[in-house]
Structure formats: structure tokens, C-alpha cells
Amino acid sequence: MFVFTQHPSIANQFIAELRDVSVQQDRLRFRRNLERLGELMAYEISKTLPYHNVNVATPLGVAKTQLPRQQPVLATILRAGLPFHQGFTNFFDQAENAFAGAYRGYALGSNDEFEIAMDYISSPDLSGKTLILSDPMLATGRSLEKVYHALLRYGIPAQTHIAAVLASPEGIAYVQERLPQCHLWLGAIDDHLNDHFYIVPGLGDAGDLAFGQKV
């Protein structure tokens, strides 16, 4: 498991701005900070990908380098995942993409009992590829699990990386137990989940902060 905040870096500033009530209401900045964290995480994950030797013709000669053997498939969960996902696409610019619409469907009259509802999914063939599944908030881990299993209908990836900005200890334990084959990449690990399964201290509702409140 990789966690940005294990070593202080500029990622701390982006995460602090996402959390800070005096900054996070600026939607453009909120989305841009998620995007910047997606870029930083894409860079970290890129260090684990397979590379092959390549000769690049310059105007003056030939430069030897190593380039990724294959672009990963970038998957995210609508809608909160979109700005974070954008950061990954900025770096893996030729990657194929997968999207799932998954959300908490609350039992009538309750705001602490829910099932994960999924009503949209699109994906390229995943067989033998590297899959990066991103979701800014790893709270319970249930939507990530549901989306991951739904994606397996499109083929079995060679490896899967799950990326989140903030994670709860409960969510991490859930994902590690249910999806032990997936590598976890996190911005920060927070204290706990509250009664409504929100991450504390967290940042609030990532989808609402990025795109406005839904009714």
C-alpha cells in the first residue's frame, strides 16, 4: 500500500485545500486539486508498470529510453471520480477508459442504511491489461468492490491498482480482505467513518463540492 502522506510532499497542500472549509467551496479549485492528485498518483503508479527499450530519433541522433509497454485502462466511478480521473488521463494520455455509475441507494426514510446501486457501466476489453480504478473517497469500500466485480465481465486484468485520495481504516480493511489482488494507492488515511459512513475528518461530499448539490 502506498500513501502520499507517509512522506511530506506537495500532495499535502492539495489535500489540505480539499479539506479546508475556507477553500473547498471554490469548485474550480476543488476539481483542480483532485486532478493534480490524480496526476501525482499516475506518476507514482507509472513507476510500477512494465517498460521496453525504445530508440527515439532526434534531429541530431538517436536517444535510447524506456517507454511503457502498454497504456493502462483508466476506470472511475461517476460522478465524484471525474476530476481525479482527469488527472490520470493527463498523464496516461492514450489510455482507454471505463466508467461506472454507482451510488448509495438509501433505504426509504433512512440515511444510514444503503445498498450500492449501479445503473451504468462501459469498458473496453480488460484481458491481460493494467487496470487503474480511481475513486477519490474510499469510505466503506463497497462501491469499489461492486464496480471492480462488474468490470471483470470485460476480462481479467493482469493487475489492478485502486487509487483514492482519502481512505478510512474500515474501507482499507474491507478492500484488502475482499480484493487482496488489488494494489492500493492513497492520498491520506483518516480516522474513522461516522454514522452516515462519511470519512472523518475527511472533506465532506466530494461529488457535491466538485459539481454542486444534487436534489
137's enclosing H/E stretch is strand 137-138
Alpha-carbon torsion, ordered 191, 197, 199, 205, to 10 deg: -170
Q: Are strands 130-134 and 159-167 parallel, antiparallel or unpaired?
A: parallel
- By the 8 A CB rule, do 210 and 204 touch? no
Answer yes or no whether residue 167 interacts with ligand URA by CB under 6 A: no
Answer yes or no whether residue 206 interacts with ligand URA by CB under 6 A: yes
State residue 114 phi and psi, 5-degree precision: -150, 155
* Total binding residues toward ligand URA, as defined by CB under 6 A: 9
Write down the least CB distance from residue 31 to ligand URA, Å: 13
Closer residue to ligand URA, CB minimum distance, 98 or 166? 166
Write down the least CB distance from residue 164 to ligand URA, Å: 10
**Which residues, including other chains, have CB under 8 Å from residue 177's CB and lie 6 or more apart?**
none
Answer yes or no whether residue 80 interacts with ligand URA by CB under 6 A: yes
User: 125: phi > 0 → left, psi -120 to 50 → alpha, else beta; which?
Assistant: beta
Residues 46-75 binding ligand URA (CB under 6 A) are: none
Chain CA centroid to CA 7, Å: 20
Write down the least CB distance from residue 177 to ligand URA, Å: 19
**Interatomic CA distance for residues 80 and 146, integer angstroms:** 16
- For 80, the 3-state DSSP assignment is coil
Closer residue to ligand URA, CB minimum distance, 91 or 198? 198
Residues 107-146 binding ligand URA (CB under 6 A) are: 137, 139
Span from 17-25, 52-60, 66-74, 202-210 in contact with ligand URA (CB under 6 A): 202-210
Closer residue to ligand URA, CB minimum distance, 81 or 157? 81
Residue type present at position 148: Y
Answer yes or no whether residue 199 interacts with ligand URA by CB under 6 A: yes
Write down the least CB distance from residue 194 to ligand URA, Å: 8
Write down the least CB distance from residue 199 to ligand URA, Å: 4
| Residue 64: other Cβ atoms inside 10 A | 8
Write down the least CB distance from residue 104 to ligand URA, Å: 8
Contact residues for ligand URA (CB under 6 A)?
80, 137, 139, 198-199, 202, 205-207
